[in-house]
Structure 1
């Protein structure tokens, strides 16, 4: 039942993203890219569906993260952070976000223990990229611009 509710919320939100994108006058925008590739409304909608099915249970249906996400859990690990503008996802380059999602946080921070699984073999590269597009589409322009600069300074993210 919870999964069905999340899927319904995700579908409604994806429709809202697509409508807002279409009303903005274009299918693509050069200001929103992932790994150097332009993002379109279909990619965002697909990313939201994949996010709802694989990420929302920890990171929140509204990208809000877990409560007290800056405070360690009893097991010493950190709760799932938000992916909206209130979190720190936008502080990281595209390539780093992709690597964390595919291979786990340990691939970027060796020895770091996290409850987040690696999604290699679960999600395709295209699905991971779509999730990142969905997440990035939620950020205000200031966070997008900052993250685009971080990505460019990381070698373009491609």
Structure 2
């Protein structure tokens, strides 16, 4: 994870690459907790009403870079996700900037909880 982020670039990249599914205001798609007719869950919100802030940084990065199916498979979970991977379209730095933008919109409590979970994971991994 880089030490510095470009939140403004992250916002622009979010609008270009993420807002079509996750909403211009990070609000997600309607009924995001209920699978659609194809069995896939709609895109969740990335604001404080969703579950994005429950995940550590590494999961958010992998989900964005590799896509939902591949990231969950790495964890031994078979699940059909609607989240595509953006590793071919976005650099690692751009993905981190998008994540930094999303995190910048959360209230302090959500940012603190998510930061604590990410720090604990880094400590377990020896980073």
- Flag whether TM exceeds 0.5 (same fold): yes
Q: 1:87 is matched with which residue?
A: 50
Greater gyration radius? 1
Deviates more, 1:101-110 or 1:143-152: 101-110
Q: 1:141 is matched with which residue?
A: 108
Q: For structure 2, list consecutive stretches of 5 or more residues without a partner in the other structure.
A: none
Q: CA deviation at 1:38?
A: 4.0
Q: For structure 1, list consecutive stretches of 5 or more residues without a partner in the other structure.
A: 1-34
Q: 2:3 is matched with which residue?
A: 37
Deviations 1:29-53 (A, max 9, x none): xxxxxx36244xxx11100000000
- Given candidates 61, 65, 73, the residue that maps to 2:36 is 73
Q: Which has the higher contact order (CA 8 A, sep 6+)?
A: 2
Deviations 1:90-128 (A, max 9, x none): 000001100010001123312321222100111111110
Q: How many residues align?
A: 121
Task: Give 1 or 2: higher strand fraction.
Answer: 1
Is the counterpart of residue 130 in structure 1 residue 93 in structure 2? no
Query: For 2:37 and 2:86, how far apart are their aligned partners in 1?
Result: 25
Within a 5 Å distance, the mapping from 1:1-158 to structure 2 comes to: 35=1, 37-39=3-5, 43-110=6-73, 111-155=78-122
